[in-house]
Structure 1
Amino acid sequence: MTVLINLQRLLLCIALLWCLPLAAEQKIVSINIQAVALEQPSDYFVTLLKMALDASKAPDEQIELRFAPYELSQARWIYLLQHESSDTVIWTMTSKEREKLLRPIRIPLFKGLFGKRVFIIRKQDQKRFDPITTRDQLGELLAGQGAHWPDTRILQLNDLPVTTASTTDSLFKMLMAGRFDYFPRGISEAWFELAQRPEDKDVVVEQKLMIVYPTAIYYFVPKSNEALAKRIERGLERLIDTGEFDRFFYSHARTKAGLEQLEKFPRRIITLDNPDLPEETPLDNPRYWLTLPGS
């Protein structure tokens, strides 16, 4: 009798399982990114992108980010997105030229901090910067920037002499060798980068100046992949709506140290024009930007 009851229960379980709908198969969405590995100690761009994609994915989707096999210059990445890769995301500063070539997601990833720049200098050179208050005075010194960075053209259009190199590492080496006088870096870069380069003890962040111009760093995708652009845009907007974007921004090592330094030590501001800023830049949308005192 017990055996019969157990058999009936087993048949009932099988019948119930047969009636249940099959679980939806997970769809893997693979996206290539420009990073070769997660930035240490904590990645900003990759983490924020994953947050945005997770915020905009369908219930049956699984997001897979695929790292690049090797480092490439910004110019090379832009070429690849134009001609060879339809499912790739890069992050770079905007310009009129770049927005002609690629599809920008016009939500500033650092709330405009990339256009607020302090200088990395040789430690012994602080006295050379102490008396500077104007753009003309700053123009007597030589800046170093990346060969393909939009910042380079902005400085040149403001009559500030610039020498270039292909990589950030090369620029640090050139600065220490005396090849130029100052290396402008965004608030979200300067202190963070020096913390990652403890061996470079002879370079510091200059103490009194900041140049300011309107710009933004965005995620970019190929113009052929509007669906990916809309997905990222939708995800970022949701992160802003829920407050997750700001919590991430203000707590991250890239931004936290720089903002704390600016609060403790106010700076003289030299304002520059940015003729390369696209007209579509959403400067009038306050939810995207951080306004610093005096800027």
Structure 2
Amino acid sequence: MKNSLKLKELSVGSGFAWPDTRILKDNGFEVTVGSSENLINMLEKKRFALFPRAIHEPWSEVSGRTELVVEENLGLCYPVAMYFFTNQHNSRLRERLQYGLEKAIEDGSFDTLFATHPITADVLSLAHFEQRKVLPLQNEGITARTRQVFNTPSLVWQPVFDCVKRFNPQL
């Protein structure tokens, strides 16, 4: 795939309430929407050609599915964040989570966990993110808080931070 125009000729699958769905549509993709439980089956049945996934997701999802493969050369890059949500009345939990995460980032234990946790450890070597041809997408719906996060390098995995900043300098 030489450019994003060719890629945009292929239909993609995405979830009903996922921020990715709006981002993909806003960037000119034809998006087939489904429930998260059904999207892999829909891909197998060729309801769409591509199913963009977060960097840690595709290998476990295609495991044991002989008709599906993880594309090895391309990546999409756009700013979107993952957050912890707590009950609005449980400020103590929110404060403890924030304190703990900030301390873990500060002392390096967050990066250690990220690099060694079973969900992410193998992904980093499988993804070879830095070697992929990256197709940048814009996220017009990014919130001020997410913009702030993407301007804080310690809060974003470095290859993603570099990618987002390179293609979205306005952040």
Shorter-chain TM-score tier? 0.7 to 0.9
Which amino acid in structure 2 is aligned with residue 286 of structure 1?
P
Aligned to 2:152: 285
- Find the residue that maps to 1:292 and give its secondary structure: helix
Aligned to 2:59: 191
Offset of 1:268 from its aligned partner?
0.9
Aligned to 1:243: 108
Q: Is contact 1:192–1:257 with CA below 8 Å preserved after alignment?
A: no
Distance in 1 (CA, whole Å) between partners of 2:129 and 2:143 is 33
Structure 2 unaligned blocks of 5 or more = 164-171
Offset of 1:264 from its aligned partner?
8.3
Identity value in percent: 35
Q: Is contact 2:130–2:159 with CA below 8 Å preserved after alignment?
A: no
Greater radius of gyration (CA):
1
Q: Is contact 1:192–1:254 with CA below 8 Å preserved after alignment?
A: no
Offset of 1:263 from its aligned partner?
3.1
Which amino acid in structure 1 is aligned with residue 61 of structure 2?
E
Distance in 2 (CA, whole Å) between partners of 1:174 and 1:262 is 23
Offset of 1:283 from its aligned partner?
1.5
Q: Is contact 1:191–1:257 with CA below 8 Å preserved after alignment?
A: no
Aligned to 1:171: 39
Distance in 2 (CA, whole Å) between partners of 1:139 and 1:179 is 15
Q: How does 1:222-233 map to 2 (within 5 A)?
A: 222-233=87-98
Q: How does 1:1-295 map to 2 (within 5 A)?
A: 132-167=1-36, 169-194=37-62, 197-198=63-64, 200-263=65-128, 266-281=131-146, 282-292=149-159, 295=163
Offset of 1:222 from its aligned partner?
3.1
Offset of 1:193 from its aligned partner?
2.8
Offset of 1:164 from its aligned partner?
1.1
Q: Is contact 2:72–2:132 with CA below 8 Å preserved after alignment?
A: yes
Offset of 1:137 from its aligned partner?
1.5
Which amino acid in structure 1 is aligned with residue 33 of structure 2?
T
- Find the residue that maps to 1:205 and give its secondary structure: coil
Per-residue displacement from partner, 1:204-263 (whole Å, max 9, x unpaired)?
Answer: 101211100011111012333333211210111122222221111001232222211233
- Find the residue that maps to 2:83 and give its secondary structure: strand
- Find the residue that maps to 2:2 and give its secondary structure: coil
Which amino acid in structure 2 is aligned with residue 148 of structure 1?
A
Per-residue displacement from partner, 1:142-169 (whole Å, max 9, x unpaired)?
Answer: 00011111111110111111001112x3
Structure 1 unaligned blocks of 5 or more = 1-131
Higher RCO structure (Cα 8 Å, ≥6 apart)? 1
Distance in 2 (CA, whole Å) between partners of 1:292 and 1:156 is 25
* TM score, norm. by length of structure 1: 0.51
Aligned residues: 160
Distance in 1 (CA, whole Å) between partners of 2:66 and 2:41 is 12
Which amino acid in structure 1 is aligned with residue 124 of structure 2?
L
Distance in 2 (CA, whole Å) between partners of 1:280 and 1:164 is 27
Which amino acid in structure 1 is aligned with residue 46 of structure 2?
G
Q: Is contact 2:129–2:159 with CA below 8 Å preserved after alignment?
A: no
* TM score, norm. by length of structure 2: 0.85
RMSD: 1.9
Aligned to 1:129: none
